[in-house]
């Protein structure tokens, strides 16, 4: 199957592009396309507005609402932006004042209830108060006799006191004066309570707007779309610093959260939506452990389109058996199976390729069991067993029958895929072809193999298939015109006949490999009978000869099943292809 992709459009300054891409590399999951657009006053204004919406949305997203009320959408995005920005400014100033006030309260607390009003009253009596802080160790009790002194507070080893200066009399006190708070602690604490109420009110306003914060994202997306559309129509600019970079990124849906966390941290401007076929998203496949091994074979042709069926799991078992048919020797299959199994212990990094070799070896054991070929020897002749293994003529017809099954299977896959993706009627024409081919197969089984197949089955399958082809190849609204438009498609039967004959190559390659193996055995046997040196050189002929035959046959066994897959199977399954492979930015270690 094709993994759904999520599309992101990032907007950033061109100068920031290299650092941004380097960070994406560390994620290792993002496939990107990039373009550069010039920036002018209009795009600058749009970008600034988008940035403001982005910033306000992130601030509102930090607010946790325990019991959210139903959203009334009584506000517009512009209203939320304007008032939230004012609230943020008000909160910043109020919080700053709160911090300073807490410091003032801390410094005023030791002076108890002394206030500026007390100082004013003393001034009316022509007295000037002076304030001091002295440690208990340095405090001298005789000061109380020498000066008009009053102790206001004793706290943390310090003594807070006030000394009055009489107008017209000389004044001197042997300490440095302390700075008195701007107001008494009562007034400061009252102001702090007012500030806390103000912050609570601001928080309530934030919560009210946070309920409608999605309006900000919606409007911001509209602005980014406007910016993208505007930039798409602009030409290039001369200075790189006067350009914007538009980065289109695709990430597989299961890994979306990783990129979302990255965006939250970097606070980039972006649009996000599910990828569509017109976006030309990259193709990443997800198959079971068996089918995944055959993905490199499918990649040799081309990936499917984004809205197309991934047929890897459907052609994989056929390819394995076709390979075995072409290689055509049980002994070669055993060698491949051993090479794949032992190779995993010595080359663990090549485990997927070696697993594929194992399965191809299994296929090369299964199919040649029908003909009984083992290192060029015919087991039926060797052990004088008649009727157990297929002869060459039977293998010839088996190749054609195998091709018929392959094509019918492809038509049925096309049927269900078209019904699922396009609609029920779209799958009826390929179903008609499948029924027609089944009718031909049933007729062949009845005529050449004398199978007890009822004629009614053959007729029903044939005429139903023809009817579906005539009336559903074209989906014209006028049902009487449909057969006329479908007549040309009936000529495709010659193409299917040609496709069927293409499968003869399975028999041809297998038979050729068997003949070459027989030649090696014959020559090796002749050398083997030479006195003294025959065993040595005969063994060399056997080993080198069969290695050469196996290598040559394996090349054909790889290529020709690809041809049957990419031409016959892909055509009948309705495969279009043309997608681009998923190639994420990655950090090279």
Predicted confidence (pLDDT) per residue in 141-192, tens digit: 888 888 888 787 788 888 888 888 777 778 788 888 877 776 777 777 888 8
With 90 as the cut, is the pLDDT of residue 325 above it? yes
With 60 as the cut, is the pLDDT of residue 413 above it? yes
Q: Phi first, then psi: what are they for 39, rounded to 5°?
A: -120, 135
Q: Which residue has the higher pLDDT, 413 or 453?
A: 413
Cα→Cα distances 394→147, 397, 407, Å: 131, 5, 20
CA distance 264 to 284: 25
Predicted confidence at residue 555, as pLDDT, reads 92
With 70 as the cut, is the pLDDT of residue 117 above it? no
- 178-237, pLDDT tens digit by residue? 777 767 777 778 888 888 888 888 888 877 777 777 777 777 777 777 776 666 555 444
Average model confidence (pLDDT) across the chain: 82
With 70 as the cut, is the pLDDT of residue 116 above it? no
Predicted confidence at residue 448, as pLDDT, reads 77
With bands split at pLDDT 50, 70 and 90, how would you rate the model's confidence at 113?
low
Predicted confidence at residue 239, as pLDDT, reads 40
Positive/negative CA dihedral, 113, 116, 122, 128: positive
Structure tokens at 254: 């299961």
CA distance 31 to 247: 10
CA distance 580 to 283: 6
CA distance 153 to 150: 9
With bands split at pLDDT 50, 70 and 90, how would you rate the model's confidence at 238?
very low
Coil, strand or helix at 367: coil
For the chain, the first-to-last Cα distance in angstroms comes to 30
Q: What average pLDDT does this structure show over 537-544?
A: 90
With 90 as the cut, is the pLDDT of residue 333 above it? yes
**In this prediction, what percent of the chain has a pLDDT beyond 90?**
21
With bands split at pLDDT 50, 70 and 90, how would you rate the model's confidence at 318?
very high
Q: What average pLDDT does this structure show over 335-357?
A: 91
Q: What average pLDDT does this structure show over 10-27?
A: 79
Q: Give the DSSP H or E segment for 270.
A: strand 269-274
- 34-58, pLDDT tens digit by residue? 666 656 667 777 777 777 777 777 7
Q: Partners of 134 in the beta sheet?
A: 159
Q: Phi first, then psi: what are they for 165, rounded to 5°?
A: -110, 125
Q: Which residue has the higher pLDDT, 234 or 64?
A: 64
Q: Which residue has the higher pLDDT, 375 or 235?
A: 375
Structure tokens at 349: 């990094």
Predicted confidence at residue 89, as pLDDT, reads 86
pTM here? 0.68
Query: Residue 151 burial (CB < 10 Å; 0-12/13-18/19+)?
Result: exposed
How far out from the chain centre does Cα 585 lie? 12
Q: What average pLDDT does this structure show over 346-352?
A: 88
- 290-316, pLDDT tens digit by residue? 999 999 998 888 889 888 899 999 999
For residue 582, which of 276, 280, 277 has the smallest C-alpha distance? 280
Q: What average pLDDT does this structure show over 68-92?
A: 75
For residue 5, which of 279, 260, 225 has the smallest C-alpha distance? 279
With 50 as the cut, is the pLDDT of residue 449 above it? yes
For residue 514, which of 327, 265, 367, 336 has the smallest C-alpha distance? 327
With 50 as the cut, is the pLDDT of residue 71 above it? yes
Q: What average pLDDT does this structure show over 459-479?
A: 83
């Amino acid at each position: 199957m094709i993994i759904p992709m999520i599309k992101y459009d990032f907007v950033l300054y061109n100068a920031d592009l290299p650092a941004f891409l380097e960070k994406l590399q560390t994620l290792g999951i993002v496939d990107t396309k990039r373009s550069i657009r010039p920036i002018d006053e209009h795009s600058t204004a749009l970008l600034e507005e988008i940035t403001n919406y982005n910033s306000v949305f992130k601030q509102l997203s930090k607010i946790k609402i325990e019991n959210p009320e139903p959203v009334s959408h009584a506000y517009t995005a512009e209203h939320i932006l304007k008032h939230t920005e004012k609230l943020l400014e008000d909160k910043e100033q109020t919080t700053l004042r709160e911090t300073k006030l807490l410091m003032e309260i801390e410094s005023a607390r030791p002076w108890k209830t002394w206030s500026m009003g007390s100082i004013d009253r003393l001034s009316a009596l022509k007295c000037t108060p002076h304030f001091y802080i002295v440690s208990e160790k340095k405090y001298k009790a005789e000061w109380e006799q020498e000066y008009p002194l009053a102790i206001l507070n004793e706290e943390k080893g310090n003594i807070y006191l006030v000394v009055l200066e009489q107008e017209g009399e000389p004044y001197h006190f042997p300490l440095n004066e302390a700075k008195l708070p701007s107001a008494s602690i009562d007034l400061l604490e009252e102001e702090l309570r007012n500030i806390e109420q103000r912050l609570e009110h601001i928080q309530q306003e934030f919560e009210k707007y946070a309920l409608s914060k999605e309006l900000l994202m919606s409007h911001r997306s509209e602005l980014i779309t406007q910016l993208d559309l505007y930039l798409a129509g602009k030409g290039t600019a001369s200075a790189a610093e006067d350009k914007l970079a538009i980065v289109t990124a695709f990430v597989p849906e299961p890994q979306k959260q990783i990129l979302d966390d990255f965006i939250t941290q970097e606070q980039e401007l972006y649009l996000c939506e599910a990828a569509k076929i017109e976006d030309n998203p990259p193709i990443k496949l997800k198959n079971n452990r068996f089918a995944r091994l055959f993905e490199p074979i499918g990649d040799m042709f081309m990936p499917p389109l984004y809205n197309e069926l991934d047929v890897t799991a459907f052609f994989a078992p056929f390819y394995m058996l076709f390979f075995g048919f072409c290689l055509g020797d049980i002994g070669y299959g055993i060698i491949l199976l051993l090479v794949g199994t032992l190779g995993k212990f010595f080359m663990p990094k090549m485990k997927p390729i070696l697993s594929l070799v194992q399965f191809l070896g299994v296929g090369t054991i299964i199919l040649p069991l029908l003909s009984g070929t083992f290192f060029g020897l015919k087991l039926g002749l060797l052990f004088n067993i008649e009727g157990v293994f297929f002869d060459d003529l039977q293998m010839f017809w088996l190749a054609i029958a195998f091709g018929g099954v392959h094509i019918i299977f492809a038509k049925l896959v096309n049927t269900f895929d078209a019904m699922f993706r396009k609609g029920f009627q779209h799958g009826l024409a390929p179903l008609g072809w499948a029924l027609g081919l089944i009718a031909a197969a049933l007729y062949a089984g009845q005529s050449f193999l004398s199978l007890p197949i009822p004629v009614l089955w053959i007729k029903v399958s044939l005429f139903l298939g023809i009817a579906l082809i005539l009336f559903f190849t074209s989906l014209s609204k006028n049902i009487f015109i449909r057969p006329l438009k479908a007549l040309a498609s009936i000529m495709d039967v010659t193409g299917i006949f040609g496709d069927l004959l293409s499968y003869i190559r399975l028999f041809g390659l297998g038979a050729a490999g068997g003949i070459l193996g027989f030649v090696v055995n014959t020559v090796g046997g002749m050398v083997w009978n030479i006195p003294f040196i025959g065993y040595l050189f005969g063994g060399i002929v056997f080993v080198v000869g069969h290695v050469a035959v196996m290598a040559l046959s394996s090349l054909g066994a790889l290529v020709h099943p690809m041809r049957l897959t990419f031409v016959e199977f892909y055509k009948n399954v309705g495969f279009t292809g043309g997608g681009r492979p998923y190639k994420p930015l990655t950090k090279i270690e």
